[in-house]
Amino acid sequence: DPPSAPHSVDAVVVGAGLSGLYQLHRLRELGLTAMAFEAGDDIGGTWYWNRYPGARCDIESMSYSYSFSPELDQEWEWSERYASQPEILRYIHHVADRFDLRGDVVLGTRVTRAVYDEDRHFWRISTNTARVVTARFVILATGCMSAPKAPEIPGADSFTGQIHHTAQWPHEGVSFTGRRVAVIGTGCSGVQAIPVIAAEAAALTVFQRTPAYVLPAHNRPLRTVEVKELKSHYPQFRQAQRSSRGGTVFEPPTRSALEADEAERTASYEAAWDSGLLNGLLRTYTDILTDGTANETAAEFIRSKIRSIVTDPATAELLSPRTFPFATKRPCLGTGYYATYNLPHVRLVDLRTTPLETITPRGIRTSDGEHIVDTIVLATGFDALTGSQLAIDIVGKGGVSLRTKWADGPRNYLGLVSSGFPNLFTVLGPLSPSVLTNIAVSLEQQVEWITDCINHLRERGLTEIDATPRAEADWSTRVAELAARTLYPAVDSWYTGANVPGKPRVFLAYAGGLDRYREECDAVSRGGYAGFVLSASPS
């Protein structure tokens, strides 16, 4: 196109991971022209970038997958209970081919800026490859954990060996054989990578600031009979997922942990531990996430497990979380995680007692000296939920930038639209249930709501939808109230933005459950989009 006439489409989708690809599919079904920009050199989003050793989903594969196509459900065969990163990426490629989505995805292209034309009701989108596209609608499918947190550790540039963030892992050329390796960070990524690296490396030193609660995954190949059984009622299973609280199917607990005696509690915690489910322990009693005393019974159970696995009592104690209640940060699913610390070539360095000072050309210096290593793995996490959106210079009505508007924390209505930024929708963004749920189910719910909304506008010849400031303010209050009923907001975590220096401290997710959230969203659309202003461009 000549520079004076930017390419124009009905909708631009930002990101071609699980959310963006499904959004593209649904928009095309409506007959819209749509294109997706993807920063990566291939599709897949999270599952494209996070190629670190041991990367795996912590929701069961037959649950963590699209539910929109019964045919897809029947034809795809997962090999393991918990799918590995390569298998999920293969699945995403299969879906893109099956629904012919690739043609509308522009790879290797990062959206850098989006400016709203408030007279004509469209967005002007610019990219790092100097492309300019105009679109009535923009859907940010940029992911909730996709902006890797910059390592604020001094000296990282001076290191002469290899240094890799788990979420920016090279496609090839990383080998640990014969190498001395350091891992910084013991969140879910570190927990998955550490045992796999330990199996290959000559020596592994883990630099831990805060220990995580790690539950055993009990991963295994899926059995033909169980796959067949689930597939025989997959539609009903998918329906149950959709109407569930967190996007996974389970029998909700009915009693408080404090109503049970110790023997009974231990028996239910043991069963949950053996289940290999991320939320197994959370589902034993009603109040694990709402009552500190109830929570402590589960936390102490996990600590007792750590003591029973880790042979050195001092190491077991260092690995035992004590500074935050169980599950107020996302629990981790591990495979052989705690037993890894029994290996003679694995060392745990506690950064609370010997703080990390700097990365040196040869390794890592803590207050008690230099640890010489060949490779450093940064498993230091993400600027979650808001990072990927604020990475784009988004300018809404009146020339206001989203970065300015969100300086004290994100504000939007239903977690979907921020007032003053019309026709710009977010999938899995802040103030929605996303990160507290099985995101495969959450993203479908949001994509479907957005698609219906766009359809509603088009059928009525309307060209703009914006959230009212009032509805947005009420939503923030509501999200904060729901969080206040739980133990979440008091804890420093990426849920509260506390992991990123300078980030406003706000509990970033809707904690009322996906079922209730879905009802709230549906009530709004059924009620003619109350809390939104719908209009038609005069031009």
Q: Which residues bind ligand NA7 (CB under 6 A)?
A: 145, 152-153, 166, 184-190, 209-210, 330, 351, 356, 379-382, 494, 499
Q: With respect to ligand NA7, which residue has the nearer C-beta, 23 or 189?
A: 189
Q: With respect to ligand NA7, which residue has the nearer C-beta, 381 or 429?
A: 381
Sheet holding 363-366, edge to edge: 356-359, 363-366, 369-372
Smallest gap from residue 347 Cβ to ligand NA7 (A)? 16
Q: With respect to ligand NA7, which residue has the nearer C-beta, 210 or 468?
A: 210
Which helix (H) or strand (E) element contains residue 535? Answer: strand 532-535
Burial of 107 (0-12, 13-18, 19+ CB in 10 A): middle
Closest residue (Cβ) to ligand NA7?
187
Q: How far is CA 82 from CA 64, 88, 92, 122, 360, in A?
A: 9, 10, 16, 42, 37
Instruction: Give the integer Cα–Cα distance in Å for 329 and 345.
Output: 29
Q: With respect to ligand NA7, which residue has the nearer C-beta, 342 or 358?
A: 358
Smallest gap from residue 86 Cβ to ligand NA7 (A)? 17
Instruction: Give the integer Cα–Cα distance in Å for 250 and 272.
Output: 12
Instruction: Give the integer Cα–Cα distance in Å for 246 and 250.
Output: 10
Name every residue whose Cβ is closer than 8 Å to that of residue 477 and which is 6 or more positions away in sequence. Answer: none
Q: With respect to ligand NA7, which residue has the nearer C-beta, 463 or 496?
A: 496
Smallest gap from residue 364 Cβ to ligand NA7 (A)? 10
Smallest gap from residue 381 Cβ to ligand NA7 (A)? 3
Q: With respect to ligand NA7, which residue has the nearer C-beta, 402 or 431?
A: 431
- Residue 203 corresponds to which tokens in the numbers above? 């020596």
Instruction: Give the integer Cα–Cα distance in Å for 221 and 230.
Output: 15
Smallest gap from residue 175 Cβ to ligand NA7 (A)? 22
Name every residue whose Cβ is closer than 8 Å to that of residue 146 and which is 6 or more positions away in sequence. Answer: 15, 17, 45, 46, 49, 167, 382, 387, 388
Q: With respect to ligand NA7, which residue has the nearer C-beta, 70 or 86?
A: 86
Smallest gap from residue 427 Cβ to ligand NA7 (A)? 16
Q: With respect to ligand NA7, which residue has the nearer C-beta, 257 or 319?
A: 319
Instruction: Give the integer Cα–Cα distance in Å for 446 and 414.
Output: 10
Instruction: Give the integer Cα–Cα distance in Å for 122 and 464.
Output: 8
Instruction: Give the integer Cα–Cα distance in Å for 490 and 37.
Output: 37
Instruction: Give the integer Cα–Cα distance in Å for 384 and 152.
Output: 16
Smallest gap from residue 249 Cβ to ligand NA7 (A)? 20
Q: With respect to ligand NA7, which residue has the nearer C-beta, 106 or 153?
A: 153
Smallest gap from residue 378 Cβ to ligand NA7 (A)? 8
Instruction: Report which of 210, 194, 229 is spatially closest to residue 377, judged by C-alpha positions.
Output: 194
Smallest gap from residue 467 Cβ to ligand NA7 (A)? 28
Ramachandran region, residue 491 (left: φ > 0; alpha: ψ -120 to 50; beta: rest) = beta
